[in-house]
Structures are given as C-alpha cells and as structure tokens.
Amino acid sequence: MAAALALTGSLVACSTTSDGPAASGSGSGAGASGASETPRVDPVRLDTSFADPTSVPIDRPVTVRTSGGTLADVEVTSAAGTLTGKVSDGTWTSSTLLEPGTDYTITADATRSDGQSVQRTRSFHTVDLTLDEQTFAAVAPLNGETVGVGMPVIVTFDLPVTDKALFEKHMRVTSTPAQKGSWYWLNDREAHFRPATYWRAGTEVSVDLDINSLPAGNGIYGQESREVSFNIGDAHVYKVNAQTHQMQVFSNGKLLRTLPITTGKPGFVTRSGTKVIIEKFAKKRMNSETVGINRNSPEAYDIDDVRWAMRVTYSGEFIHAAPWSVGSQGYANVSHGCTGMSTADAGWLYAMSRRGDVVEYTGTDRQMTLENGYGDWNLSPADWKTGSALS
C-alpha cells in the first residue's frame, strides 16, 4: 500500500472559510494592555493511502485519516455506489474493493482542536482497465434453475486465474440443508464445486463469487461479482448395466421402471462410471464425423432427427431414442457408444429428466474421465479435495 500522503490545497470547512487563527478581539487595538490572543487552531487536512489521485489501484483498501482534528465519519461515493468501510482508531478503512475507471468522492467529517465540526472533500479516479485485463465468471446452474442431485457448481473464467487460492477464498457455496463440499480446479479457467455425496433432493443452493476487482494474477482482475441461487429437484439416478442391457430408473430411491437398452459395440464401447446429464434436445442431428468417424467409413452415419437426446459426455455419448435397434435392445450392444432405447421409453425418460440427473454405468472396461462432461463423481471425496487450491 502506498504511503499515506497528506492532501494539501484549499479545503473549506462547513461553517467557516478558514481553519486559521480567529481574529483578535475589538477594543483597544493589538497593543492595548490586557488584550488576550486567541489560541492557535491547526488546519484540518485529509491523509489518504494513495499517492496519485488520478490512478488509484483497485485491489487494495482505501484509508482516510485526518491531521489537525479527530475523524468522525467518512463517506466515499461514486456512480457505482457507496464504498463500505468504518472508522477505527482514527482511521477509516474501506471493506470492499474499488471499481476500475471510476470517479470517487471522499467526504470526511472531523472535529477540529477547538471543538468545531468541519467537513473535507477529496476526489480520486481509479485505474482504467481493458477487458483483456478483467476475467468474467460464467456460472452454472443458472439462477433459479432446478437441477438434478449430481449437478456440480461450475465456474468458467474467460481469462486465466493464476492466484487460485485467493479467488477460492472469495468463492462461497452454501446450502439448505447444509452439505459440506469443496472446489476442484480442472485448470486455470474452470472450477467445480460438489458435496461429498450427491445433493439431497429439495436442497436450496446459493453461490456467492465475491471476486470483483480481485487480482487474479498476471495483471488480470475479477470483472464482476456474481450471486446465483438454484434448487435441487427429485433424486433421479439411472443405473445402466452394459452386460445385462438394462437401465433401472430410480426416483428418490424408488425403482420406477427397468428399460431395455443397447450400449456401445466393440470398437465403440460405452464408458463405465458416473455421468451426469449435461443438456437435452427434443430432436438432434447426429453425424459420425463429429466423433471422428470419416464419412466414407462403413461405420459412418448422419441422422438429422434423433429424438429425445440427452448428452452425458462431451465426447458424444447420449441417451436417446433408437428405433432402428429395438430388436437388439435388452439383448446386445450395437451402438456407437450411445445408450439407445425405444422411442416411447426415451420420451418417458426425457420428460422426467433434467440437467444434473445421474447416470451410473457399469459393465465395460472403458472408464469415464473427470473432464469428459460432468465427471466429478468419478473421484472419491478425498481425491476431490486435493483439487482445491486451499488443500
């Protein structure tokens, strides 16, 4: 923090035009016998924590003190709002960080040595930052969204955060009922939060990212604080067994139905592990070139109206209607990695499902990975905690 410098210049008191000595009394004149002199009153000046009022840093507190008087109260205002803070031991210290490229005005009330109340003002301007110097945090789920019990909190930054520990200290997740959890940084731009086990059905979750103007490292600062609240719906857990070719559909622990399905054939084996529904499409085009199968391959396909598709991996695994494989569903694995079922069954499942619902796959020797979708639940709680910048 820059050394506090006294801000000099003509400063006008509330009720007087000068803090200098009061005029001598009238009567016999300056040299008359018995005349008394008025005690000297020192001027009240403001001392602040910044040296250059035209380019004040945003990542440190502002402090205000007075010389020649006792500080009573301080208000720091701008078009962005009032800066919060409090006076302690004669010094006012801000408790929130500043906005970049913003004009602020300090208004300080003090008591002069002669007991008179005076007011001082001072203006300053914070450093100007470009968008290339500010990182914005996108948050999932959306505010007000209802999601499944497997949905992690996902924060994605558009510029890298190298001081992850500092940011994580300002990234808070609370829930009702309370469930302990922790953050896991996948990389410099993406952090996930999850509890030790699936969220409880009916939980209310709040996310508070207090990162505005927080230094992210390498000259980058948080662009905006974010607050998001969302709800956890019914506990939907779907258990897929690639060996028995069946999906068991559970809601709040109760088995609703067992559906015949087909999964990936040799060469396109479906991944085992815990997956989470990422997004839903009532109708979606599926083209094999998007998953690396050349259009001239005998395995190529291009279907423009696949119904009731729900993505479970970034690499292209979906749960969807597959009327072309109904004869194999419940008996054999014939897909290119997706989980196929009849159109009626897929429509029923699609209608009850939401983002964040859990799909647990068993029966194959190909494992799901952390980064391939919402793969968070494939780590144990102990391993998950190691991904925290504060661990």
Other beta carbons less than 10 A from residue 192's beta carbon: 22
CA-closest candidate to residue 310, choices 268, 277, 339: 277
Structure-block tokens of residue 203 = 């939980």
Alpha-carbon distance of 130 to 133, in angstroms, equals 5
Q: Are 167 and 210 in contact (CB under 8 A)?
A: no
Q: Are 354 and 277 in contact (CB under 8 A)?
A: yes
* Identified catalytic residue from 192, 236, 245, 320: 320
Alpha-carbon distance of 73 to 92, in angstroms, equals 8
How big is the chain by its Cα radius of gyration, in Å? Answer: 32
E-strand spans in 312-371? 318-321, 339-341, 358-362
CA-closest candidate to residue 49, choices 70, 65, 73: 65
Alpha-carbon separation of residue 110 from 38, 43, 74, 90, 229 (angstroms):
21, 11, 9, 10, 42
336 is catalytic: no
Alpha-carbon distance of 342 to 347, in angstroms, equals 8
CA-closest candidate to residue 122, choices 18, 43, 47: 47
Strand-strand pairing, 190-195 and 91-94: unpaired
320 is catalytic: yes
CA-closest candidate to residue 358, choices 262, 229, 225, 233: 233
Catalytic residue numbers, as ranges: 320, 338
